[in-house]
Structures are given as structure tokens and as C-alpha cells.
Structure 1
Amino acid sequence: MPTFRFFDTVHGTQFLTSSVTERDAIIASHAPLTYEGTGMAAVTLDESDANVAPVFRFFDTNSGTHFFTTSADERASITATRPDLIEEQANFAEHLTPVAGDVAVYRFFNSGSGDHFFTQSATERASILATRVDMVDEGVAFYAPGHL
């Protein structure tokens, strides 16, 4: 299944959803989110598969941005210690370890704004590493299917 990627023109961050309804509502609202098209592929949540995890989504009430994680421990820590981050519905899932055909999705922390940036593009990752000293490489966030 596809995810849909938006660029937040105010904060310079991304927003991801797999919901067609949510995608269409954002486009119709003319929010400061520019639709970039299909983002990464996602997998269907299968609770019987220990390698598949929901991508938890949090809204940051201070910055107006979103944070994504597949880590249950990180989710629990955020829920317990960050009242400024409100958990929203997880509407897609990804792999915790790679399976055949998967690509790594990398997470960067913007030390200037406190926001996060995600990419599965090796070219985009290399550019960030080479030119953005404000972006801290947090490694692989999760693994996504390489093809939709």
C-alpha cells in the first residue's frame, strides 16, 4: 500500500499518511502542506508477524509538526513524558528488520528546530550528510517495501 507524502512549507518537515480520505482532506483544505505524491510503500499491519510494526504518529503541539516511530519503547516514553506530543492514529505499518525487496528509511533530527526528517532516498540521505550539519543522523527508522 502507498503512503502519501506532504511537505510542510512552514516547518520544512514531512507529513505521511496512508489514508486516501486524509490525503484528500489536506489537499482540499489548502493547509501549508504541499502534496508531493506517493511516498514510501507500507505494509499491512499483521499483529501475528513480529517483524511488522505500526508506525505511531504524534502531533507536536509546540511546533505543529509530526513525529513517527515504530518503537513501542519510544512510544511509551513519549506518552509518559511528553504531554506536548499527542498520539494520533497509526494508519500504516513497516518492517522492523529488512525482508527481501525492502529499503531502509532513515531518520534525521534537526538540531535547530527539534523536528525530524525521514527519507528512503540514498541520494537525499547523502546530500543531508554532506551539507546539513544541523541534521543529526539517527540511523534507520524502519524498513519499507522498495516497490509499491
Structure 2
Amino acid sequence: MVEIFKNDTPGTATDLGTLAFASNLPTDVIAKTNVWETDGVFGVTSPPISDDIYDYYSFNPYQLASVRVTFHGRTVGDYANFVSVFPVQGVSRIEGDINGVWTGGEHTGSSFGQTTVQVSELFAEGIRSEYSQIDTSAATTALNEFPDSEAIWHLTGETVILQVTGYEYDGSTDQIITNGGVPGEVDFRLEIYPHVGAIPEVPDEPDTPDVTLPVDTPDADSSPYQVYRFYNTLTGSHFFTTSIEERNSLITNSPTMSYEGNTFDSNATASNGGTAVYRFYNTSTGTHFYTASADEAANIRSNLPQFNDEGIVYYAHTSADSGGTALYRFYNTQNGSHFYTTSETERDNTINTLGHYNYEGVAYYVDLA
């Protein structure tokens, strides 16, 4: 194989960009997740083993407290893969896999498969010792966990640098022996995402935020949609979600997102005549836009490529006839975002005191929380 990147040292690590939640992006963020595939890194074709056995990658964990890491090797035919993904900077604690071993075909129980397991164990022992400043008490080695090995990395806030290495025995036992009995390069896939969900409490862990999540009580009228609002102190815009998981992950991992509670509900559904509310993410401004107009949504998809379509987030009433409350919409001329409120007082105050907000009338109708 031909190396794609010359990222053989921490100083030449391939920069993957800035990682953040979609609702909490600075203007220079490329994507909310990083996904990539590269060639193998062990580079063993004949003894001795190459000195260049590592690939290094880096990313900026923009105000994230933790990330979820998944990785795996090639899994076809007769094989024994070993892949190690380990952070050498920017991580204080690891929960989950740092090494993965995958075997298939005859190597599920062959000597080559057993050797691969032993190498992974020795390698894990070595990196635990070399990087003793990282808490690896909850770190593990995965054995035949398909499709992915997975870990949670608790971050320190500095740039994260990670090293990847591995090898693969490929083919039947006879083929491997004919080729000299040494492993070759391994293809691997590596994905890193913002960690969704509350971070477990870690004793004496200063980088783990002390987060109290809302206590959810039964909704009085059993609304199918409860809408939660956040104020983004970075962009000066608001973000809305009906997902408790998304709400909790923002509260836990995004300190610039100020939680403002369950601001309204919606009893509308597709079956009772409700109209779909579409959510778009503006990659140019880092803000979100919501519309119940299918025509407006279609126009955005056709003419505004900087808007990522995030689909239907809930349903709303088309009029007040069903008992719905008006949701008022404003356009912020300073940052290109929109503001929504069911409060007539908040509506009037915005009109009277915030001249850079253009009032656009009723967006659609919802229900009071």
C-alpha cells in the first residue's frame, strides 16, 4: 500500500479540524463529526519490524468534555487484525477499548490469532506504562467485538493527539507461512463523535463538569412533542429540540448553550392534521432555522447550499382553530438567525427594543407547556 499521510510523529499529526455539536459550532468548524479511512500503519513486509509503525491525528475539541471513539479493522476471509487507538495528548481518562483484535475464518482459533491477542495485551501494557498520566483503569482490549470497538475519552481541553497502529495476518496459514510468517499492513476505520449523554462521575477528575440534568415530570396533557429551548451565548441565537437525549448532551457537553427549559409543546401530529416542522443547520453562521412551510423548506434545499437539512423535528398546528398558540418569528439582521417565541410580552419587547430584529409574523401554532 502507499501511505496517504506522512503523519509519523505527534508534530506532523494530520489535523482533522474542530469537533463540536452541530448546535454549538464556532465559525471555522468544518463538520460536527470526523470520519475517515486510511491505509495501514504497521508496514511489515519482512523482518525487522519497521520503525515507522504509528500514524498520528489531531483535532480541536471545541468546548467538549468528552468524545466517543469507535474503530475496527478489516473483517473479510481468513484474517487476524490488531488495531490500537490511543490518545497521547488532551485526554485525562479512557473508558472502553484502546486495542481491538478481530479474527475470522481459520484464524479464529489459529496460532496467528492467538499471537495477535498476545501482542495486543503486551502493547496495552506498554502504552499504559508510557502514558501513566492518563487514567486507564477503565480501559479495555476488545476481542472480536463487531462491528466496532468503542471508548469514551474524557478531555482536558487542549488539542487532542492520537496515535494509531496495527497489523494484519491475511490469508490462510499456508499463505502466511509462504510469505515469511510475518504480518502486514492493516486497513482500519476510525470515527470520533461528540459524546452524547451524561458523563459519569469520576473521583478527583477536575475536567469532568458538575452537571445537573433536568428532572422530567409527566406531561400534563401527554403532548407528543415537548420543545426545549437553549440560548447560544456564542452566536446570540436560540436552539430548539424535542429530543431529551440531544437536550441532555447539550447541557452536559456544551457550556455556551444556556438551557431555558420546556418553552412550549405541540399536540399536533401527522395523523391529526398537523404540519411538519423542518429544521435546517446554517453552516455559515452555526445557527438553526425552523419552518412549517413545505415551500420554504423546498426553496432552501434548492437554493441555499449552506443549509443542511436535518429533517422533521416535530409537527405543529396550521391555525389557532385547534386551540393552538401562535409562535412568533423574528429575523436577526446582525447574525442572520431567527428567533421564535410564544410570549406576546417577549414579542412586543423585541419589537420595541431590539431594532435589529425584523418581525415576520406567526410562524405556526403550538401548545403552551
Aligned counterpart, 1:41? 265
Which residue of 277, 285, 293 corresponds with 1:71?
A: 293
State whether residues 55 and 93 of structure 1, in contact with CA within 8 Å, keep that contact through their aligned partners in structure 2: yes
**Alignment: residue pair count:** 145
Which residue of 218, 224, 227 corresponds with 1:3?
A: 227
Task: Report which stretch shifted further, 29-38 or 70-79.
Answer: 29-38
Partner amino acid, structure 2, of 1:109: Y
**Structure 1 residue runs without a partner (length 5+):** none
Cα RMSD (Å): 1.4
Asked if 1:123 is matched to 2:345, the reply is yes
Partner amino acid, structure 1, of 2:244: V
Partner amino acid, structure 1, of 2:326: A
CA distance in 1, matches of 2:237, 2:352: 19
Which residue of 304, 310, 316 corresponds with 1:94?
A: 316
User: Which structure exhibits the higher relative contact order, with contacts defined as CA atoms closer than 8 Å and separated by 6 or more residues?
Assistant: 1
Partner amino acid, structure 2, of 1:7: Y
Aligned counterpart, 2:249? 25
CA distance in 2, matches of 1:63, 1:85: 10
Aligned counterpart, 2:307? 85
Shift of 1:67: 0.3
Task: Report which stretch shifted further, 2-11 or 35-44.
Answer: 35-44
State whether residues 108 and 135 of structure 1, in contact with CA within 8 Å, keep that contact through their aligned partners in structure 2: yes
TM-score normalized with structure 2 length: 0.38
State whether residues 43 and 92 of structure 1, in contact with CA within 8 Å, keep that contact through their aligned partners in structure 2: no
Provide the identity percentage: 35
Partner amino acid, structure 1, of 2:266: A
Partner amino acid, structure 2, of 1:104: A
TM-score normalized with structure 1 length: 0.91
**Over 4 Å off, 4+ runs:** none
CA distance in 1, matches of 2:293, 2:287: 19
**Structure 2 residue runs without a partner (length 5+):** 1-224
CA distance in 2, matches of 1:75, 1:47: 21
